[in-house]
Structure 1
Amino acid sequence: MTVAPSSCESLRIALFSGNYNYVRDGANQSLNRLVGYLLRQGAQVRVYAPTVETPAFEPTGDLVSLPSFAIPGRAEYHVASGINRRVRRDLDAFQPNIVHISSPDPAAHRAVSWARERGLPILASVHTRFETYPRYYNLAFLEPILEALLRRFYRRCDALVAPSESMAQVLREQRMNYDISIWSRGVDREMFNPQRRDMEWRRSIGLGDDEVVIGFFSRLVMEKGLDVFSDAIDELRAKNVPYRVLVVGDGPARDWFENRLPEATFTGFLGGTDLARAVASMDVLFFPSITETFGNVTLEAMACGLPVVAAAATGSESLVDDRVTGRLIRPGAIHQYADALHTYVTDPALRRRHGDAGEARSLEFSWDRINQAVADTYLRLVRAKARKRA
């Protein structure tokens, strides 16, 4: 009779990721935090992902390189193209008792087949709304096809985890799977908090003490809503109220964004305490992206005491309480975005009240509690497979 595991020490997890550490973003940083937590709980974890010569940061845990190729036009990202004999030998030697898939790429498809052949449970985590990407490249007609391909992939998995209830509901409506639970995101409160605000730093980049700073921080790619951001700022300018725009981040769309917003201040990429200082030194976050499944950016801004103007879309809807911690605006509604920004620019008491409420909300997001929810899901799936084999 097979004994069902009851603790993390019994877990042997093979984690497949399309980007674990070669480009820094919220999804791969969450995966690294998860692996670090699992290792501290006594689990064994092996990560399989593409690698590059100069990654953005050191990986947490053991990382096995997957064969990959650079995406045409977006060379900073790689597609894991499959599982070769070297990787299969490593998998066979590691002998995982569960497989975790975090990106629906060709290697993940092969990993799912490998796991199903061996009767291993498969958990997939959903980190972005891939099916929405084509609309930002004038290819919206591909969305139904991409959604159907994703559905076929996710239904071959035993369960999914999504970072927010709003995203989980979208996945249910799309019939991606019938076992969907929440793997939320946490925030490092020692890093992101209002005390990081630094007026001297603001002055050093040309921002006056009395100027209201509308901030944006993220990878600078079109799918983050850069066009909507720019159009709303144009409308705000027409209202003749004083404000400044601060953009933190880098990416392939930076030149486009700088040309579109010539009066904005661009810092380029910032990380660690430099990023936290920049965020806390903003006065309001404007983040109109609709591709987020959670919104790490939104939570980090809230932890710094900023009101947030965001799209009423997956991720933000689970974080922002409309007219309490910020504003949720219908995606693409330029006039409404501009009106919300105008209100915050001209009402400092409202900014402070909504910012304080957002900071209080951010206290609910503890990384250890959140990552234990994933460990509990692993254990549940492994136990279910063990019962079937018994």
Structure 2
Amino acid sequence: MKPHVIYAGMTSWYINHTARESEVLGGLAGYWMGNKCPAGVPREKYKRIWPYHLAQKAFYHLPFSDLEERMRWRNLPFYDAWMNLQEIPDGVNVVQGPMGSCEPLFKLAENKDSSILKVFDAPNSHPYSLFEIWQGECDRYSNGFRIPIHLAIKERIKREIDAADVVLCPSLFVRDSMIANGVPEEKCFVSHFGVDTSVFTEREKLPDKPRFICVGSLTVRKGHQYLFPAFEKVKQRVPEAELVCVGDVRPDFQTELKKWQGTFTHHLGVPHARLAKMLAESTAFVMASLEEGFARVLSEAMAAGLPILATFETGATTVVRDGIEGIIFKSRDVDGIADAMMRMISEPETNLAMGHAAYAAGAERNTWNDYTKRLLNEYQRRLGEL
């Protein structure tokens, strides 16, 4: 049975790529989203969730990212109200939504037909793991800062996982967090994100001086409080080394940021074309996250031919083998991070070999079209089981 999928959510995250490629592959039935219609999605298959969009619009462009995230969840009643008025069209046999967006979508599917496959798309680890890890780091490094997601949302996401037929996991870390919190392993399907290989291309050579790059919001959840002291150790041995960080600064990192001003070069955000150039001019990509789904920039860095220096919690081990495409170090291991960076400086031949292996593993046959094919093939298999 060929999948015909409705993708629905309060915000698209990365699902716009999935919907676009589903249309190319003949699997898109509908795209219901708070965001605008993306290129490649036919207008007749798109519905904008206007109540949620209008409620959230005031917070999209404010410089307070924490406020935007808090309101993203507090405005869910507007999303639910709109969803409750919809009907699943005939012919739809799969519905998919990201965490927090699935509860009303799954109810629509259950009221329509019990044979509709319900897919929970997990951009992060199980909510119990996510809350515990993130809040724990806040308590250590941010003076008791409370994470911007209410505890009631944690339980909502848990209910969505319980109601799903498939939990789509972007990494082995996410899958393991689901299993650790009681989700049956057979319910999980692991597929890491794709990459736009027309933008991100393999680097040609090493930079003139050591330059490491990390992309993602500066937040205790992403482990910058361990990355910066590790880089200080590197600087003591190689003074000309550079660390470039791309991403906004979250409120939970403001206290730590004051300690490390001047340690790194900071860009709040850059266009994809500029990011591709920055990656291609780097020695290695480094990420010390304590909780992640699968950082999409991992695929982008691999497509740029960079060795990946990362924790298991970034999702990297889904595609990166320790010592082949990069180096996997333990989370919170300052010495381990520093040693990995030093190896990339002192062993240029190893660096180039790892970078080329990363390109082969992360870019070849890993476009967003490849990612979507994997999903649709799995949905077809599971529809047959239903």
TM-score by length of 1: 0.78
Report the Cα offset of residue 211 of structure 1.
1.8
- For each residue in 1:283-324, what CA deviation from the matched residue of structure 2 results, as whole angstroms up to 9, or x when unmatched? 111111132222322222122121121113351112222122
Instruction: Assess if the C-alpha contact under 8 Å between 1:183 and 1:371 holds in 2.
Output: no
| Matched-pair contact (CA < 8 Å) for 2:203–2:281 | no
Check whether the contact 1:211–1:242 (CA below 8 A) recurs between aligned residues: yes
Percent sequence identity is 15
Q: How does 1:228-307 map to 2 (within 5 A)?
A: 228-252=226-250, 259=258, 260-307=260-307
Letter in 1 for 2:267: T
1:318 maps to 318
| Structure 1 equivalent of residue 196 of structure 2 | 188
| Structure 1 runs not aligned, ≥5 long | 1-5, 21-27, 200-208, 386-390
Q: 1:337 to 1:76 in 2, by over 3 A?
A: same
Partner of 2:102: 108
Aligned counterpart for 2:11 among listed residues 7, 19, 36: 19
- The one-letter code sitting in structure 2 at the alignment partner of 1:174 is N
Match of 2:76 among 59, 81, 89: 81
Q: Give the alignment of 1:54-65 within 5 angstroms.
A: 58=38, 61=41, 62-65=46-49
The separation in 2 between residues aligned to 1:358 and 1:92, in whole angstroms, is: 41
TM-score (norm 2): 0.79
Quote the Cα distance in structure 1 between the aligned partners of 2:278 and 2:109: 44
The answer (yes or no) to whether the contact 1:100–1:124 under 8 Å persists in 2 is: yes
**Alpha-carbon contact 1:167-1:314 (below 8 Å) kept:** no
Distance 1:166 1:220, change over 3 A: closer
Which of 162, 176, 182 pairs up with 1:175? 182
**Of 267-276 and 323-332, the range deviating more from structure 2:** 267-276
- Matched AA of 1:109: E
CA distance in 2, matches of 1:169, 1:274: 35
8 A Cα contact 2:288 2:314, kept in partner? no
Give distance in 1, aligned partners of 2:153 and 2:66.
19
TM-fit CA distance, 1:172: 2.3
Which of 8, 18, 21 is the equivalent residue of 1:34? 18
Q: How far did residue 352 of structure 1 move?
A: 1.8
User: Which residue is equivalent to 1:374?
Assistant: 375
2:165 to 151, 155, 158: 158
1:48-77 deviations in Å (ceiling 9; x for gaps): 3334xxx7x946531421644669972333
Alpha-carbon distance, 1:213 to partner: 0.5
**In the aligned structure 1, how far is the partner of 2:173 from the partner of 2:254?**
33
Q: Offset at 1:124?
A: 0.9
Choose 315-324 or 252-261, whichever is displaced more.
Answer: 252-261
Structure 1 pair 64–215 and aligned structure 2 pair: CA distance change class (3 A): same
- CA deviations over 1:19-73 (Å, ceiling 9, x no partner): 21xxxxxxx23x111101111223343333334xxx7x94653142164466997
Question: What is the CA deviation profile of residues 186-227 of structure 1, one whole-angstrom value per residue up to 9, with x for unaligned ones?
Answer: 222232123487x9xxxxxxxxx6321011112334322221
Q: 1:258, 1:264 within 8 Å by CA — same for their partners in 2?
A: no
Q: Does 1:227 align with 2:225?
A: yes
Shift of 1:94: 7.4
Aligned twin of 1:358 = 358
* Aligned partner of residue 75 in structure 1, secondary structure: helix
Contact 1:46 1:64 in 2 (8 A): no
Rounded to whole Å, the distance in 2 between the matches of 1:136 and 1:45 is 41
Q: Distance in 1 between matches of 2:240 and 2:203?
A: 25
**Match status 1:46 vs 2:30:** yes
Distance in 2 between the 1:66 and 1:35 partners?
Answer: 19
Alpha-carbon RMSD across the aligned residues, in angstroms, is: 3.4
Structure 1 residue 243: deviation in Å? Answer: 0.3
Shift in alpha-carbon separation, 1:194–1:73, aligned structure 2, 3 A: closer
Q: Which moved more, 1:223-232 or 1:114-123?
A: 114-123
Count, aligned residues? 353
Q: 1:257 to 1:94 in 2, by over 3 A?
A: farther
Question: Structure 1 residue 329: deviation in Å?
Answer: 0.7
Shift of 1:240: 4.9
Is the alpha carbon distance of 1:43 and 1:73 closer, same or farther for their aligned partners in structure 2, counting shifts above 3 Å?
Answer: closer
Is residue 163–residue 315 contact of structure 1 (8 Å, CA) maintained in 2? yes
Pick one of 95, 107, 117 that aligns with 1:99: 95
